[in-house]
Structure 1
Amino acid sequence: MARSLVGFLVLFFAISICHAASIFQPISDSHRSAALDVFKPVDGSFGSLEETYEALRSLEILGVEKKLDLSKTTCGSVSKTLESSSSTPKDLLYALNVNGILKCKIKAQVFEEIISRLQTAVKGASSLLDFYCSIGSLKLIKDQTSKTDLHLSDAEGVLYSIKALSQSDGRWRYSSNNPESSTFAAGIALEAIAGVVSLASSEIDQSMIATVKNDVLKLFDSIEKYDDGAFYFDEKVVNIREQLGPLSTTSSVVRGLTAFAAVTTGSFNLPGDKILGLAKFFLGIGIPGDAKDFFNQVDSLACLESNRIAIPLILSLPYTVLSVTKDEHLKIKVTTVLGANAPPLTVKLVRAFSSGLKETTIVENKELKYDPQSESYFLDSVPKPVDVGNYIFIFKVVLHDSEQQSVYATGAETQIPIFVTGLIKIDNAEIAVLDSDHGSVETQKKLHLGGENAVSLSANHLQKLRLSFELTTPYGNAFKPHQAFLKLRHESKVEHIFVVGNSGKKFQIILDFLGLVEKFFYLSGRYEIQLTVGDAVMENSLLQDIGYIELDLPEPPEKASGPPALPVDPYSRYGPKAEITHIFRAPEKRPPQKLSLAFLGLTLLPFIGFLIGLLRLGVNLKNFPASPVPATFAILFQLGIAAVLLLYVLFWLKLDLFTTLKALGFLGVYLMFVGHRILSHLASASAKVKSA
C-alpha cells in the first residue's frame, strides 16, 4: 500500500506541475521520424495529387523528402492532369504544387494551354474557391516558368470582386449567394489577393491594400486564447459540408496572412505576442497522427518561420528537473519554430518563485551565459536560495537592437516549471517504548534510516511506542515530504497505517496501545514495523523495514469484532491452479478369451444354418435377369445387402451407434432406389408370363 501511495503522490505532483505552465518545444527529430510513418505511399503513390502535395510539402519542410522517392510515378499523374482538358482549376492547382517540388518535365505548350484556360476561368469565376484555385495556379506557373510577362488582364477588377465577398468582422463569404461568413474562407481570400498582387501588371491601388490590412486586424480581434498563451482561430460557420476544427481554420488564416504580407509593404500593427501565440498553438498539438493535421501543422509553422511580420522565437528546456546535490546546470535553447538558431540575444532569469499557494520571489534579474558549442544559454548552477522543491522560473528574451524587435516575436515573459530535487538528510532517528503512566523511556534504540536496521522490541497494552526523526534539505532547511507513514503488520498479515506528523524539522509519532487495542482487534504477537518517507523531490525516498515489536494485548471481550478478511490477491484468481490428478477405477473382470471366442461361434451358428437352409431348398439363379440393365440393378441390390451386413460387422467391431445410423441412412436410400427398379422388373416379367 505504501508503494502505491508513493507512486500516486509522485504522479499527482508531476501532473500539477504540468498544468502550472506549458513548455513548447520546437520541431525536432521526433517529428521527422513520425512524418515517415504518417505519410506512407501505397504501391508507390498516394490517393490523390492533393494528398501527394501535402506529403511532399511536409517532408520537404522537415528535410526528409529524399527518403520518399515518388518522382517517377507521380510525375506521370502530374503530366496527365495538366494535359487533360477536363481538369478543374483545383486539379491543376495541386498538380502544379506537386510539380513545383518534383520539377517534372512539362512541355511549354502545355503551360500555354493551361494559362489560356485559367485566364478564362478567372474572368468567369463566381465563388471564392474558383478565384483561389485559378489565381493560385497562374501564380505557380509564373514561378515555375520563365514567363515574366504572365499577368492578369484586369487585376484590380478581380481584386474588387474578391473584396466584395468580405464582411465587416474580417471574415469572408464563399460566394455572393452564401450569406454565411467564414474564418477559414478569410485565409483563402488573403491567399487569392496575394496572388492577384503578384500577377498584377501595375501597382495595385494602395487604398485597397490598406482596406484588406484593416480586415486582417478585425479578423485578429476575434482570435481566441488558451490559458497557456496559445492563440487560435475557430470556425463559426455551421452550415458547411465539412466540419473544420481550430487546426484547419488557424492554418488557413496563417497561410493567407503570411502570403499577403509577403507581397505588400508597410507594417501590419499586429502584436508580436499573437504571432508567438499562433506558433505556441501549433507546437502545443504535439505530433498529429492524421496526415491532413500533420500537413496543416508543419506547413503553418514553416509560414510563420519566414513571415515578414514577426518570426516567433521559442524558449525551451531540454529537461526541467534539476538536482541540488549533483549541482546540475540549467540549460535553455532559443530557436525558431522549426529549430533554426536564433539571432544574437540575451536571456534573463527575471525572477523565480515557489509554485505553492503563495508567490514568494526567490531570485531576481539573473542573466544567463551563452555556450556557443551547444548553442544554448545556461545558469552556472541552481541559485543558492532555490532549495529542494518545485518552482516557477520566469525568463525573458531580449534582442540586441530595435530593428530586430520588429522582425522577431519573443513574448513578454515565459514561465517554466522547474523541479529541484536533492538528497534529504535524515538525522536523530530513534524508536522507543515508553511507560504509559510517567512517560519514562523503558527501551530506546537508535535507527539508521537508509541503512540496515533489525530492531526487536516488546510492549504491552499499558505502554507506548514512539518513533522520531528529523528531515532537512541540503541547505539545512526543514523539509516536509508528501508522505510519512508508519505501518505495523501483524503476523496474520493484518496491517495498520499511521501518519507521522511533524513540527518543523522534527517528525514524531506516539502510539498509545491502550487506546489502540480495539483497532488492533486484541491480536497479540509479533508486529513488523515499516517506515515510508517519500516525495517527488526527495532523491533518497525510503520504504524500509525497521524491525518488529512483540505486543502483549488483553483477551478480547465477548462482543469484540474480529479482524477483517484479508483482501484476495487478484493474481491468485487468474493465475495457474493446482494440478488435478485423477485415478480411474480398476477395470471390471472379463471372462477368459476362449469363452468369448466360443460365444462368438455360437452367434455365427444361425447364419451357418441359414446358408445350409438355402442349399436344402435348392436356391437357383433362374430368375436372375438376363437383360443388361435389370441385371445391373440386381447386382447393385445384392451389393447393397452385402454392404448392410458389412456395416453390422463394423458396428460390432469398431463403429459407434451414431456413425452406424448415418451410414445406414445412406445405404437405405440406395437400396430403396435399386430395389424398386429390380422389383419393378420382376413384377413386369411375372405379369407377362401370366398373360402368355
Structure 2
Amino acid sequence: MRFTQSFAPALLLLAGVAQATSWGFDDGSVSVVAKRAGDAGSKERFTSKTLVTKPLSLGSTDTLKISLTAKDNGQGKRPHQAFVILKEKETGLEAPFPLTVKESGKAVASITHKDLPVQFLHSDGPLEASIILGSFGSSKALNAPVFDVKLQKDPNVPLPPYEKPVRYGKKEEIHHIFRADPTSPPKVISIFFALFVLATVPVLFISWIFLGANLNHLSKAIGAAPVSHATFFGSILAMEGVFFLYYTTWNLFQALPVIGAVAVVTMLSGTKALGEVQSRRLAGER
C-alpha cells in the first residue's frame, strides 16, 4: 500500500470538475465489530453534512465497518472512485481504503489495525475519516469528513518498529576523515635495495676494464667541451638527488617540475657532450 499526503486532491482531480450534478450518499453508517464474544460493539450513522459527534474507539482486535449507498444526482450508482480516507491530523499523512461498490451504489469497507500503516499505530491523536466519491463526467466529486477514529493499543502487544524515512533537507555537517599519507617501506627492505644498487658500481668499473675503457681521453673531453660534460654529469647526479628527495620528503607535485627542468638540461648538455665524443671516435681516437 502506498500513502501520500495529497491522495484526496488527486482523486478529486480525476473525478472531474463541478457542474450541474454532484455525488453524494445515503444510509451512511459505521460500526466497530469486536472479536470478543458477547461484545456488541458500537454503531453510528452519518451523512455528508452530519459528522459522528464522538470519536469511535477501534481496539487492536476490532474491525471498523463502513457502509453507505453512493448516489449520483440522487440516483444509486457505482462511481469510478470510492474510498475511505483515514488522515492523521497532526502530520497530514493519509491512507486510502477502497469501498467495494455494487451497481446499485451499495458500498462497504472493513478496516482493522493490521490494515493501517505503522505510523498510525504510533499516533496518539484521533484519525479523521473522509468519504471520497467521484467519477468521469460532469458530476461534482464528493470529499466529506464523516467521523474520527481513536486507536486503542493492547499494552501487552508491542508496537511494530518504525523509523522516520529520510527526507531531503538540511543535514548535520559531515566531517570527512581522510586516509593517512602512505608510509615508506620497512627500513630493512630499503637498505637491502640500496646496497644492491651500490653493488652495481664495482660491476660497472670492472666492465669498463674488460671492454677497454680509456681514461686518458677524460682530459681531452673536458678540455674540448668542459661545460657540456660537466653539466651532463651534474644533471645525472641532480636527477638521482630528485629521486632521493621524492622518496624521503617530496610529493609527486613537488618532484615533477624539478624532474622536467633537470631532464631538459640533461638533453641539451648530453647532446653536446656526446657529440664531442662522437667527433673523436670519427677521428680514429679510441
Give the TM-score taking structure 2 as reference length.
Answer: 0.46
Q: Which has the bigger relative contact order, CA under 8 A and spacing at least 6? A: 2
Give the TM-score taking structure 1 as reference length.
Answer: 0.21
In terms of fraction of residues, the more helix-rich structure is 1
